[in-house]
Amino acid sequence: MKIVDIEVIELRVPGWTGETFDGSYDNCLVLVHTDEGLTGVAEVDSVPSVIRAIVDARRSHTHAMGLKEAIVGADPSDVEGLWERMYDLTSYYGRRGAVIHAISAVDIALWDLRGKVQHKSVGALLGTRQRDRVLAYGTVYPLGETTDEVRSNIDRGLKLGLKAIKIVADPFWRDDIDKTASLIRAARDHVGPDIRLMVDAATAWAKAEEGLPLMPIFKEHDFFWVEAPLPIDDLDGHARFQGFGVPIGGGDLGLTTHYEYEAAFERGKIDIAQPDVTMAGGITELRRIADLARRLGKRVVTHGYKSNITIAATLAFLSRHWMDEPCEYSTSQSPLRWHLTRESFPIGPDGRIAAPEAPGLGVSLDPETIAKYRVA
């Protein structure tokens, strides 16, 4: 079997302007086609036109070419070897950022293809199943500026069946500590003690001094982690959030590969790596990040805010992961979030979702949705 093409499909909901932080209203599918008619499917949380350029780029020289030129003609079964080949042959202009995003998508598609060829789920390819069902966590944004708004917005997550909810910091939090404390208290009072609460600062604080006063409040109300407190390059600032008894997570807003996560662990002192499988290097690199975290006594809690394709790839990993960590369950209202695949992943009464066990990722694309939102 040989790879004959890498196809990039750009999708976009009409009228979407990109003025809010939700990447679910456009999407980029990456399909790896073979000479035997089998196709691996993936998506990537990045700028679709940039991913297309990286896939289709003509060779400039031996270490600067597009992914299509790098691996078309190769045997798709050597997934890890092809990852190294793509990394090497794009190293002159890649190694981080959008090139790794593109490699991530091709890697996921190759794992999907491997599973289809072997008639096994990607999870089964990754190792011994540790659990059948994985806890889902979802994001609520905005949280609101009054206690009534807090209750109403959190109810959106509760109605989905979520037992773990991540709230997103607003810029005003750093300016009005008392108001922020009352809103956080309202959130905890509303969900009770049995629902996990986390906070995503989403780099709302430009410097550590803006976020540090809130840490005792998060500790008081039993928050499970604080995510992305500062811009990702401020590793020394991240280290200052230690010592409050609340784990600090990071990486979801741009870190790629285990090389960057090693610096975040060692210099930034983060407790939790939060890689997105569609951005950090695919399933192959996600495993390396997890191995690194285990050696250093750290955790991995994945990020993922696209469609059921991302959820399927993440579940394959988490169902085999050594720790029982939650899977992000996008709460976006975008039709591309909910209708891109024929399959769905409903949340059960226990707040968990079942890991797919069908061959490959266990998802199939919905042709009507693709036809409706495809960018010509």
List residues with catalytic annotation: 303
Is 139 in a helix, a strand, or coil? strand
Measured between alpha carbons, how far is residue 277 from residues 100, 195, 303 in Å? Answer: 11, 26, 8
37-76 in b/e burial notation, b at 16+ Cβ within 10 A?
Answer: ebbbbbbbbbbbebbbebbebeeeeeeebbbbebbeeeeb
Strand partners, 29: 9, 43
Q: Where are the alpha helices (DSSP H) in the chain?
A: 48-56, 67-71, 79-89, 97-118, 122-126, 147-159, 177-191, 208-211, 215-220, 235-239, 257-266, 282-296, 308-318, 335-339, 367-373
Written as six digits, the tokens of 291 are 């191995």
DSSP letter at 10 equals: E
What angle do the packed helices 97-118 and 48-56 form, to 10 degrees? 70
Q: Cα(230)–Cα(211) distance, rounded to whole angstroms?
A: 9
Pairing of strands 196-200, 223-227: parallel
Measured between alpha carbons, how far is residue 310 from residues 304, 313, 316 in Å? Answer: 6, 5, 10
Measured between alpha carbons, how far is residue 205 from residues 197, 235, 243, 275 in Å? Answer: 20, 14, 18, 21
